[in-house]
Amino acid sequence: MSLFEIYDLTVEYSDGTESLQGVTMNIEANEVTCLIGPAGGGKSTFLRVLNRLNDLADVKKVSGKVMFKDMNLLDPKIDVIDLRRRIGMVFARPLPLPLSLYENVAYGLRTAGERSKAKLDRAVEQALRQAQLWDEVYDRLDAPASRLSGGQQQRLCLARTLSLEPEVVLLDEPTSALDPISTAKIESSILELKERYTFIVAPHSIQQAGRIADHVAFFLQGELVEYQPASEIFTRPRDKRTEDYLQGRFG
Amino acid sequence: MNHNDFNKLYPRRTGLLTPRNMEKAGYAGLTVLTILTVLPIIAVVIYILVQGAPAISPSFIFDMPRDGMRAGGIWPAIVGTIYLTVGTAIFSVPLGIGAAIYLAEYAPDNRVTQMIRIAIINLSGIPSVVYGLFGLGLFVLFLKFGSSILAASLTLSIMTLPVIISTTEEALRAVPHAFRVVSISLGATRWETIRRIVLPQALPGIVTGVILGLERAAGETAPILFTGAAFFLPRLPQSPLDPTMALPYHLFVISTQVPGMPVQIQYGTVLVLLVFVLGMNLIATWIRSRARARRQW
């Protein structure tokens, strides 16, 4: 059984922008699944369905079935608070909360009710190490997060998500605003951590998908055009549109 | 297009009215206008300082009035204004901030919400004497609080609420939406997000709004005229159901109702009221600038 089993997922927004039409796919645990395709194709919508952040958007209609283990994520009655602790998200822009480094990383655990200083300390350190930021900041954890560089901020955001030890981490173009060194660190974190977590990434370039993906899904105007193991899709795309996109004929 | 055509199309202006000179004149004009707006304020403050300062002494501040208020101090009026300001804060601050949180964070964007918002904006335009009559009808007579600190504080609260609600709502809306999304994505509820992220960020704006609202309440005469202000009391109020003297009303009384009033007592009273209100203003400015220096985004 796959971790996610998605059947005929359709999402429409009230203002008619980016939508999804009849997406059916399975996503495997402990893999890196990359969603590629031009802007407005539905990648962000897809990610936001998975941890129900779409609840905050002006959605007109959602239909289909999105099974995460034995839970239907489209069911309005599920515990979304718990779900968001199990399926975390990193956004395209580095968005540190207006708190210290430490409090940023501890934020999720604190709202989950963790009070033990020792446990928080340990979780913060582990998350910062996993995001490859610890060595740069261990001596100034009380500084405001906004003092960090953009690349450090984004790794802080990754650490903040990892601190909850979620089962799945969603990354929506996490390196689109970053320098190459920070980008490389985030990519290597993803590759190192995929034994413990499942990653679903909208990469900011096809090249990035090539470096990290196990499976690649190509979205075009809300439609899932092709979904293949990375080695397949890059060498033998089945759909003409995928081939054109990969070769840079549009995008 | 050759050079001559260009000059015909865009003739070079000469003489006094060149664009450069017009710009200079414009700057000069605006500077003069700005100075003109500040001058009266400076003049008022200096005039009151000069006239009122000789009256100020410990006994003027801390003594009860004597000789039909023509001598002695204004202590009961100062205490009364403090009571009224605190009383107004007790009612209007929690209510106003609560309403603003609802409007900014929870209220759906529909016709009803818009009506509420329009009502609040219009409330702040109502003349204060109308609030006074309303307070007389509701609190003093109908609810039988009598002419009292309680009735006057409630009346001032209603007048202050629109200011507190709209400034607080604005402060909440100024907090970037992304913080809320991030917090919710980490498994926080809306209320946890508001309490831990939004409110701390909005606090300086909220405090400023609250103080501006209370400041207006402290200086008003009309709303307390029928609801709690006393012409003269031989002792300080003992309970919230007692009437009280208050600086603005006392000023009105000694300026118009008492013949043979020494003029320096009037200006001394004005000076005390001014210092009270400006003091609150200073606190608001200080909180704002301190928060701005600490802002992390």
Residues of B with CB under 8 A from a CB of A: 178-179, 181-189, 192, 196-197, 200-201, 295-297
Q: Is residue B7 pLDDT above 90, yes or no?
A: no
Place of tokens 């209320």: B191
Q: pLDDT for B30-83, tens place per residue?
A: 999 999 999 999 999 999 999 988 888 888 888 888 887 788 888 999 999 999
Please give the Cα distance from A164 to A106 (Å, whole number).
Answer: 9
What is the residue-level pLDDT of chain A in tens, covering all 251 positions?
A: 789 999 999 999 888 776 899 999 999 999 999 999 998 889 999 999 999 998 888 888 889 999 999 899 999 899 999 999 999 999 999 999 999 999 999 999 999 998 999 999 999 999 999 999 999 999 999 999 999 999 999 999 999 999 999 999 999 999 988 899 999 999 999 999 999 999 999 998 999 999 999 999 999 999 999 999 999 999 999 999 999 999 988 77
Q: Is the ipTM of this complex over 0.85?
A: yes
Do residues A135 and A126 lie in contact, with contact meaning Cβ atoms separated by under 8 Å? no
CB of B227 closer than 8 Å to CB of B181: no
Nearest to A111 among B187, B200, B295 (CB): B187
Q: Which of B186, B196, B295 sits opposite A84 (nearest CB)?
A: B186
Both tokens assigned to B160: 């202050």
Q: Which residue of B has its CA nearest to A163?
A: B186
| Element of type H or E holding B294 | helix B263-294
> Is residue B30 assigned to a domain?
no
Q: How confident is the model at residue B16 (pLDDT cuts 50, 70, 90)?
A: confident
Instruction: Say yes or no for a CB contact (<8 Å) between A91 and B183.
Output: no
The CA distance from A162 to the nearest CA of chain B, in Å, is 10
Residues B186, A164: C-beta atoms closer than 8 Å: yes
Give the closest-approach CA distance of B200 to chain A in angstroms: 9
Q: Where do the domains of chain A lie? A: 4-246
A143 near B CB under 8 A: no
Of B139, B209, B147, nearest in space to B172 by CA: B209
A65–B contact, CB cutoff 8 A: no
Work out the end-to-end distance of chain A between its first and last CA atoms, rounded to an integer number of angstroms.
Answer: 34
The total of structural domains in chain B comes to 1
Kindly state whether residue B54 falls inside one of the protein's structural domains: no
Looking up residue B89, the CATH number of its domain turns out to be 1.10.3720.10
The answer to whether B223 touches B138, Cβ cutoff 8 Å, is: no
Taking residues B168-176, what's their average pLDDT?
Answer: 94
For chain B, what is the total number of helices (H) and then of strands (E)? 13, 2
Q: Are B151 and B145 in contact (CB under 8 A)?
A: yes
Contact between residue B228 and residue B244 where contact means Cβ atoms under 8 Å apart: yes
CA distance A102 to A188: 23
Q: Report the b/e string of A44-62 with b at 16+ CB within 10 A.
A: bbbbbbbbbbbeebebeeb
The 3-class secondary structure across chain A, one letter per residue, is: CCCEEEEEEEEEECCCCCCEEEEEEEECCCCEEEEECCCCCCHHHHHHHHCCHHHHCCEEEEEEEEEECCEECCCCCCCHHHHHHHEEEECCCCCCCCCEHHHHHHHHHHHCCCCCHHHHHHHHHHHHHHCCCHHHHCCCCCCEHHHCCHHHHHHHHHHHHHCCCCCEEEEECCCCCCCHHHHHHHHHHHHHHCCCCEEEEECCCHHHHHHHCCEEEEEECCEEEEEEEHHHHHHCCCCHHHHHHHCCCCC
Q: How far is CA A180 from CA A185, A251, B249, B255, in A?
A: 9, 22, 69, 75
- The nearest CA of chain B is from the CA of A148 a distance in Å of 11
The answer, yes or no, to whether residue B297 has pLDDT greater than 60, is no
Question: Which residues 157-186 on chain A approach chain B with CB closer than 8 angstroms?
Answer: 157, 160-161, 164
Q: If you measure CA to CA, which chain A residue comes closest to B294?
A: A144
Domain residues for the domain of B180 are: 73-294
Radius of gyration of the CA atoms of chain B, in A: 26
Residue type, A184: A
- Cβ within 8 Å, pair A91-B182: yes
In chain B, beta strands by DSSP E: 65-66, 71-72
Q: What is the pLDDT of residue B72?
A: 83
Residue A248 region by backbone torsions, left for phi larger than 0, else alpha for psi between -120 and 50, else beta:
left
Do A84 and B184 count as a contact with CB atoms less than 8 A apart? yes
pLDDT of residue B148: 92
- Evaluated on CA atoms B178, B180, B181, B183, the torsion sign reads positive
Q: Which two tokens stand for residue A143?
A: 């500084």
Average pLDDT over residues B149-176: 94
Cβ distance of A98 and B201 shorter than 8 Å: yes
Q: Quick check: B221 and B252 in contact, CB under 8 A?
A: yes
Any B CB within 8 A of A89 CB: yes
The model's pTM is: 0.83
A84 closest CB neighbour out of B187, B200, B297 = B187
Cα distances (angstroms) measured from residue A197 to each of A78, A209, A227, B16 = 22, 17, 21, 75
Cβ B187–A108 below 8 Å, yes or no? Answer: yes
Assign domain A4-246 to a CATH class.
alpha beta
| Three-state DSSP state, B244 | strand
Please count the residue pairs, one from chain A and one from chain B, whose beta carbons lie less than 8 angstroms apart.
Answer: 65
Q: Tokens 């909180």, residue?
A: B287
Q: Which of A48, A99, A111 to mutate to probe the B interface, most B CBs <10 Å?
A: A111
Cα–Cα distance between B92 and B225 in angstroms, integer?
A: 19
Q: Are strands A32-36 and A198-202 parallel, antiparallel or unpaired?
A: parallel
Q: pLDDT band at residue B93, thresholds of 50, 70 and 90?
A: very high
Is there a domain that residue B39 lies in?
A: no
* In a domain? residue B204: yes
Which phi and psi (to 5°) does residue A15 adopt?
A: -90, 10
Contact, A223 vs A46, CB < 8 A?
no
State the burial class of residue B283 (Cβ atoms within 10 Å of its Cβ: 0-12, 13-18, 19+). Answer: middle
Q: A 202-231 residues with CB below 8 A of B?
A: none
Q: Which residue is closest to B198 within chain A, CA to CA? A: A98
- The answer to whether A85 touches A108, Cβ cutoff 8 Å, is yes
B36 falls within a domain = no
In a domain, B34, yes or no: no
Instruction: Give the Cα separation of B41 and B35 in Å (integer).
Output: 10
Cβ contacts (< 8 Å) between B186 and chain A: which residues?
A: 84-85, 88, 107-108, 111, 160-161, 164
B13 in a domain, yes or no?
A: no
Instruction: With CB atoms and an 8 Å threshold, state whether B184 touches A53.
Output: yes
Neighboring chain B residues of A145 at a CB cutoff of 8 Å: 296
Supply the pLDDT for residue B9: 76
Amino acid B163 reads V
Q: Which of B105, B180, B182 best probes binding to A when mutated, by most A CB atoms within 10 angstroms?
A: B182
Residues from chain A that touch B184, judged by Cβ atoms under 8 A, are: 53, 56, 84
- pLDDT number for residue B12: 72
